[in-house]
Amino acid sequence: MSRILVVGPVSWNRMVVLDELPAPVPHMEFARDWFDALGGTSAGKSLHLHALGRDVVLDALAGPDEAGDRIRATLERAGVPARLHRAARSEQHLNLMTPAGARLSLYLATPDEPEAAATAASVLDGAALAVLDLAPRCVGLLSAARAAGIPVWTDLHDYDGVSEFHRPFLEAAEVVFMNADRTDDPWALLTRCVAAGPRVAVCTLGAEGAIALDAEGGRWSVPAEPARVVDTNGAGDAFFAGFLDAHLAGAGVGESLTRGARQAVDALASRGLHPALDA
């Protein structure tokens, strides 16, 4: 079985559930609920790929702090193989959530000063496919992966079609994913993406499902799967993992979209990134 390398963010988050996101005026509010949880798009993808039986390794940064200790312990408990390089501090977020799934993510700390091994091309050793998520240290790995003949998949998240930071990831990847948060025309956004080089571009539409476009002009769409929504965090990462798992099993784009939508249900029904963490 081919090894999948996932490189990018992992974090420790405080989740605060509110009736609605706060207005930008001074006031007081009472939270409906709050809890701490593992976060980070790369952690989410790795958890779901591992649960699907894929040979996956997560390569991320963590600091010598309490948040880093919790990140390490949670990944170990979930059984996800991880290489956690030392950084000055661990990434931490405060996520304000609503029951409807709206989110405001406040970055409390971001990792910096990673050890040299975290940015070296040797990170890619043994990988048959590399998922390089949006992180500064991944920029240098894009060209290294292409030089080594390692296929790159990436998640552009809320890409608007013009961001310069996203551009190297878009141009290096074979398959790209994004959401429709910053576009009024998802099909036009996908068209711009495949023109930059990827052979397939996928856009998730939340409750409206997902669409995909390939470099030959083929179009696919699927509805969202019925789900009991507990928390929307990590649904996009679960979708990515389900699509990738189906693709590696030989499925076409349409079936891979369906498998992605089904995998997203696991994240939506969980308070963590994956049901394995709920305990």
Give the confidence band of 42 by pLDDT, cuts at 50, 70, 90. Answer: very high
pLDDT for res 2: 72
Q: What is the CATH number of the domain that holds 259?
A: 3.40.1190.20
Question: Cα–Cα distances in Å, from 167 out to 42, 62, 142, 147, 272?
Answer: 19, 26, 11, 18, 31
With pLDDT > 70 as the criterion, what percentage of the chain qualifies?
A: 99
pLDDT, tens digit, for every residue of 115-156?
999 999 999 999 999 999 999 999 999 999 999 999 999 999
73, 37 in Cβ contact below 8 A? Answer: no
- Is the predicted pLDDT of residue 36 greater than 80, yes or no? yes
Nearest to 83 by CA among 91, 73, 94, 72: 72
pLDDT for res 102: 86
Instruction: Look up the domain containing 272 and give its range.
Output: 3-277
Number of domains in the chain: 1
Phi and psi based region of residue 263 (left: phi greater than 0; alpha: psi -120 to 50; beta: remaining):
alpha
Give the confidence band of 35 by pLDDT, cuts at 50, 70, 90. Answer: very high
